[in-house]
Amino acid sequence: MRTIAWWAWFACTTCSELRVMKVGVIGAGNWGKNLVKNFLELGVLSGVADPVEANRQAARDMAPSAEIFSSGRDLIAGDCNAIAIATPVPTHFELVAAGLRAGKDVFVEKPMTLTSGEAEELVNLAETHERILMVGHLLLFQPPIQFIKRFLGEGKLGKLYHLHQERKKLGRARYIENVTWSLGVHDIAVLLYLVGSQPHLVFASGHCGLLKKVEDDVYVHMEFLDGIKAHLHNSWLWPTNRRQLTIIGEKGMLVYDEIAATVTWHRKRINDELESIDEGSEVVFEGSGPPLRIELEHFIDCIKTRKAPISDGRNGLAVVTVLESIMMF
């Protein structure tokens, strides 16, 4: 059985309904410009804020009808329904808090904050003000990840034993944040989402090869109360590009090759007599979709329906808690 991926099931309602909404983007640099482009194409972009004139000019060129601000707080004070934040992580807490207090629904890029204390405060603020708070854990919106979530929910692998995630390549190395803060945030979000709970034990080991205090190769180990283990290997000092998730269960195994965009079901296991059983393999899902567009459509849909996002504030808090417990900053 092969399922061809498509992403229409994440789409929100009609285009005419989308246009009554106003979303302002704070931060229009390397990644923020993608938010500007997508919200513009969705017909909901109302304004863009960035302290850098070159970024503001690029936003004017891309979205001539959008109001342009040099300050995020000025945009928040405007008449937008919601804000999307793509600024450096140290600025997230103050901007998200200001948006929530102003009655705006908020989308913030990952990681949500630098500390779990800040993240918890934002979750409480969102609940107090009855606002949507969504974190940009992009990989949760890949159609293969959604397929795997449903596949596991149907019990086809039986009891889960462990999950192993690899995200390794050459570059882009950073001067401040280590490779797991840079590359592994999405992977941690995916692992927690698929397991469906918070680990009770987290530890990590890393190697600083390029800079003395910035790990460029990190192994993370998580243990959950139901006995499931999860392992993550991140590196930006690796000869090949490898992005793969392997899930081992009592009835079989799944392998998601992110580069090939395939999910393969290996009907392999070891029985009670310790005999190896191999009943073959098949690709059960193939293809992908534009995860950023799917993610932002989901945000808009949550604003309209007032349902909790897949990657809500508590999901963001859980990821920051794991990052914090690794104790590598």
pLDDT band at 8 (very low <50, low <70, confident <90, very high): very low
- Say yes or no to pLDDT of 140 above 60: yes
CATH T-level topology, domain 143-288: Dihydrodipicolinate Reductase; domain 2 (3.30.360)
**Average predicted confidence (pLDDT) for the chain:** 93
Q: What is the pLDDT of residues 178-206, one digit of tens each?
A: 999 889 999 999 999 999 999 999 999 99
pLDDT band at 300 (very low <50, low <70, confident <90, very high): very high
- Say yes or no to pLDDT of 177 above 90: no
pLDDT > 90 fraction of the chain, expressed in percent and rounded: 88
DSSP structural state of residue 181: I
The string over 294-314, giving b where at least 16 C-beta atoms fall within 10 Å of a residue's C-beta and e elsewhere, is: bbbbbbbbbbbeeeebbbbbb
pLDDT band at 118 (very low <50, low <70, confident <90, very high): very high
- Beta strands, E only, 171-317: 201-207, 217-223, 229-235, 237-249, 253-257, 262-270, 276-286
DSSP structural state of residue 154: T
Q: What is the pLDDT of residues 264-289, one digit of tens each?
A: 999 999 999 999 999 999 999 999 88
Question: What pLDDT is stored for residue 4 in this prediction?
Answer: 43
Question: What pLDDT is stored for residue 176 in this prediction?
Answer: 83
Burial tier of 172 (Cβ tally within 10 Å: 0-12, 13-18, 19+)? exposed
- Say yes or no to pLDDT of 19 above 70: no
CATH T-level topology, domain 8-136: Rossmann fold (3.40.50)
Question: What pLDDT is stored for residue 277 in this prediction?
Answer: 96
What residue segments make up the domains of the chain, in order of their start?
A: 8-136, 143-288
| Token pair recorded at residue 103 | 């009655």
Question: What pLDDT is stored for residue 231 in this prediction?
Answer: 98
Q: What is the pLDDT of residues 49-71, one digit of tens each?
A: 999 999 999 999 999 999 999 99
Question: What pLDDT is stored for residue 326 in this prediction?
Answer: 84
Question: What pLDDT is stored for residue 222 in this prediction?
Answer: 97
In which order are the strands placed within the sheet that holds 217-223?
3-4, 276-286, 262-270, 253-257, 237-249, 160-170, 229-235, 217-223, 201-207
pLDDT band at 327 (very low <50, low <70, confident <90, very high): low
pTM tops 0.85: yes
Question: What pLDDT is stored for residue 200 in this prediction?
Answer: 95
Q: How far is CA 54 from the centre of its chain?
A: 28
Q: Which of 163, 157, 214, 213 is nearest to 188 (CA)?
A: 163
Question: What pLDDT is stored for residue 10 in this prediction?
Answer: 44
Residues 6+ apart with CB under 8 A from 95: 26, 72, 73, 76, 83, 85, 87, 108
- The H or E element spanning position 161 is strand 160-170
Distance between CA atoms of residues 285 and 323, nearest Å: 31
Question: What pLDDT is stored for residue 13 in this prediction?
Answer: 40
Distance between CA atoms of residues 158 and 254, nearest Å: 12
The DSSP code sequence of 100-140 is: HHTT-EEEEESSS-SSHHHHHHHHHHHHHTT--EEEE-GGG
